[in-house]
Amino acid sequence: MSKHEHGFRDLETRLDELRSRQLFRTRRIVESPQGREIVVDGRSLLNFSSNDYLGLASDPRIAEAFQEGIQTWGTGSGASHLISGHTAAHHALEEELADFVERPRALLFGSGYAANVGVINALLSIGDQVFEDRLNHASLLDGGWISRADFQWFEHCDMDQLQCLVAQGTDRPCRRLIVSDGIFSMDGDKCRLDELIEIAHNTDSWLQIDDAHGIGVHGDHGKGTVDPVSYTTEDVPVLIGTLGKAFGTAGAFVAGEEALIETLIQRSRNYIFTTAMPAALACATSRSLEIVLHESWRRARLTVLVKRFQEGIRSLGLPMPQSHSPIQPLVLGETETTLSVAHSLEAQGCFVVPIRPPTVPVDTSRLRITFTAAHSEGDVDRLLEALNTACVE
Ligand SMILES: *Cc1c(COP(=O)(O)O)cnc(C)c1O
């Protein structure tokens, strides 16, 4: 029988296939707020699987701003930004975010996923070109595909290949966009920003950097991978930041020149045809932004924790993560091994979620360990001991 004749009747077969390859995913039900410890299946576990890098997702000051926001604005925004949903609270947050990244304007989106797909589609169409790092986040890849521009991969951080690919088409009169994560989400390594900027500049291309894991975390004031002290808006015309990770709330923003932001307001379908985030959430994020800017000790703590972890990994003889960020992947390769190590860690009180294909390439299943400013050095030691038991002994 051809696939066509099956219709949807083969759904169960396909699910079984995932189960048999150990690629079937299940959701763990968390029974506590996000934090250093979370309660899963009734057990309290040390949590090394969040993107709450600065430990702000349960910060009482942000919660208070959220509650005050609800008192002032209610719960729902009621409409999209272009109808009646764009409140003074949203507008103020956009101005604060633009000031934070030192760019002319910023525009709020409901999520990082929506922002990436929405921006690429507003900028590119048939006949244009988009170049993406092979390990870019799914939302950047989806944005590129959906845009119908000519889509080309380059191998992870391979700047020579990118240079060749872009140079091949420069005689064509079209728009060219180079797209990269700032910090790669599953590996924690940094893009080669200086080279990306140079290639974009020399080939009259635009550069879009998605700094979901860098914003709030990198640089003295948490301004991220594209620190305005070193890089101008012209160097990186399209900057994406997300608010659900280091900022501890939800949503995302795009920051750039006036003409970029106006173009998105006029043309980005993911901006236009969706309800604005609750105004109270914008109030909460405004409070978070102040904390991110001023509490540098949170970033300093992350540096200490990562250093301690890497020293421990070295002495255990485990594969050293090639990352200086709070994302410290332990690439174990086989899915089965990765699952069993994760299982052992959990039995020992450490929650580390295994990441397998298709989220990461085949044969690179890993434990994606993340640290947050809520962790202590003792927590790192506990994780190292558990890893010693799970992997070495
Ligand atoms: C998490 C993430 C996103 C998606 O952001 P959401 O706000 O969670 O939708 C986009 N890009 C990267 C690199 C991410 O890690």
Model confidence pLDDT, tens digit, residues 149-208 = 999 999 999 999 999 999 998 888 899 999 999 999 999 999 999 999 999 999 999 999
Per-residue pLDDT, 8 = 86
Using most ligand atoms within 8 A of CB, pick from 140, 183, 185, 186 the residue to mutate for ligand 1.
185
Cα–Cα distance for residue pair 314/70, rounded to 1 Å = 48
Q: What share of the chain has pLDDT > 90, as a percent? A: 93
Tokens coding 298:
């949170």
C-alpha 150 – ligand 1 centre gap (Å): 23
With beta carbons less than 8 A apart as the criterion, state whether 101 and 288 touch: no
Say how many C-beta atoms besides its own lie within 10 A of residue 132's C-beta.
24
What's the 390 CA to ligand 1 centre distance in angstroms?
Answer: 30
User: Cα-atom radius of gyration of the chain, to the nearest Å?
Assistant: 22
Find out whether 234 and 241 touch, Cβ atoms under 8 Å: no
Q: Which residues line ligand 1 (CB under 6 A)?
A: 111-113, 116, 137, 139, 181, 185, 210, 212-213, 242, 244, 252
What's the rounded mean pLDDT across residues 354-364? 91
Identify the pLDDT of residue 3: 52
Residue 5 — very low, low, confident or very high, per pLDDT cuts 50/70/90? low
- Token pair 């507003």 is found at 122
- Span 58-91, pLDDT tens digits: 999 999 999 999 999 999 999 999 999 999 999 9
Confidence of residue 1 (pLDDT cuts 50, 70, 90): very low
Q: How confident is the model at residue 220 (pLDDT cuts 50, 70, 90)?
A: confident
Q: Which residue lies with its CA nearest to atom 14 of ligand 1?
A: 212
pLDDT of residue 143: 98
Residue of the CA atom closest to atom 5 of ligand 1:
112
| Residue 6 DSSP one-character state | H
pLDDT above 70: percentage of residues in the chain = 98
What pLDDT is recorded for position 329? Answer: 97
- Spatial neighbors of 54 by CB under 8 A, at least 6 apart, are 216, 217, 222, 246, 247, 248, 291, 292, 295, 298, 299, 302, 372, 373
- Output the pLDDT for position 4: 53
pLDDT tens for residues 282-320? 999 999 999 999 999 999 999 999 999 999 999 999 999
181 Cα–ligand 1 center, Å: 10
CA–centroid distance, 76 to ligand 1, in Å, is: 23
pLDDT of residue 172: 84
Mean residue pLDDT across the chain: 96
What pLDDT sits at residue 22? 85
Question: What pLDDT was estimated at residue 7?
Answer: 80
